[in-house]
Amino acid sequence: MREAEVVVLGAGVAGLTLARLLWEGGRSVLVVAEALGEASRPPVALVNPLRGRRFTLAEEGERALEAALAFYGRFVSLHLEVYRPVPERERDQVAKRLGGLRHRWEGGGVVLEEAFWLEPRPLLERLARGVPLLKGRVLAWEPPYLCLEGGERVRGEILVYAGGGRGAHLLGLGGRHVPGLVLTLLDYFPRAISYRVYLAGSALGGSYLPEGEGPDPPPPTEGEVAWLLEGAEALVGYRPQVASAWRGVRFRLPAQGEGLPYLFPVEGGYALTGLGSTGFLYAPLLAGRLAGKL
């Protein structure tokens, strides 16, 4: 039987960020997962605290962006600046929503100078280096044990659920499964452009169906692909050529009053989950808070 002070279930960006912080702090930690990430492995991750078509500043968005810049920059290259077109009639309202984000107005929009994109796959691999990892499928959450397929058990003084929708049933967590589609392109966009959809590096993303039926991704539809390409054409004036497609499902917990709902106590420890498309934005901030408690 494997044992550790802290056992983290899930090897996506949230779980590996927490495990890395604990491991670097000298704590005994073990990550249990079937594989590195799932929803955390799109071709590109956009880290942008200005959300949606209404230009809403994410809760604690400035603090989360600061933590993300400092943490991820230790492991991978960060491609700074996200350009967002802003209709002329909305500029005054958008300016009021920017808070303390470093920005400048340029042409027909605003440049968020410290928002960025990165490549998730090398990030996850580097976060996992040196951190004890046990590959296996967890069948039951029975504090202080995790029970794995094949009869193996793992014991932790503290258990942390940092998985997504696939394992949420272990704790009875109810949330939304939101399918996402990212197209890889033959074109390359060194500075991200975002409005309805986003273009960053060799990726085009942003098409999300309202809600899926579970954690298994449905196949891409012609309507989604067309929607993405139409959005790209509106941003850059032409339809990029598509090389391949990535499909994933993000797990999102509903808001529960004020504050972030993604970090909370559960039997035997804590849950850090349900971040949906904000996972890369919030993971360093929330993992740092939890590491401080542990």
Q: Where are the beta strands (DSSP E) in 61-143?
A: 79-85, 103-106, 109-118, 133-135, 138-142
Q: What pTM was estimated for this model as a whole?
A: 0.94
Residue 64 lies in a domain: no
Residue 48 lies in a domain: no
69: Cβ contacts below 8 Å, ≥ 6 apart: 78, 114, 116
Residue 220 lies in a domain: no
* Band of residue 275 on the pLDDT scale cut at 50, 70, 90: very high
Query: What is the chain's mean pLDDT, rounded?
Result: 92
Residue type, 167: G
Task: Identify which has the larger pLDDT, 140 or 52.
Answer: 140
Res 240: pLDDT: 96
For the segment 205-222, what is each residue's pLDDT rounded down to a tens digit?
A: 986 566 656 666 667 777
Residue 140 has pLDDT above 80, yes or no: yes
| Rounded-to-integer distance, Cα 87 and Cα 64, Å | 27
- Residue 132 CA, chain-centre distance (Å), reads 22
State both tokens at 92: 């005054």
CA distances from 47 to 55, 58, 82, 288 (A): 14, 11, 9, 17
182: Cβ contacts below 8 Å, ≥ 6 apart: 42, 43, 44, 203, 204, 205, 245, 246, 248
Average pLDDT over residues 242-260: 84
Q: Which residue in the block uniquely carries the two structure tokens 């958008």?
A: 94
Residue 276 lies in a domain: yes
For the segment 96-107, what is each residue's pLDDT rounded down to a tens digit?
A: 999 899 999 999
Other residues' Cβ atoms within 10 Å of the Cβ of residue 254: 9
Residue 200 lies in a domain: no
CATH at 265? 3.50.50.60
Which domain does 147 fall in, by range?
1-43+119-175+253-294
Residue 32 lies in a domain: yes
Domain count, the chain: 1
Residue 166 has pLDDT above 90, yes or no: no
Element (H, E) at 7: strand 2-9
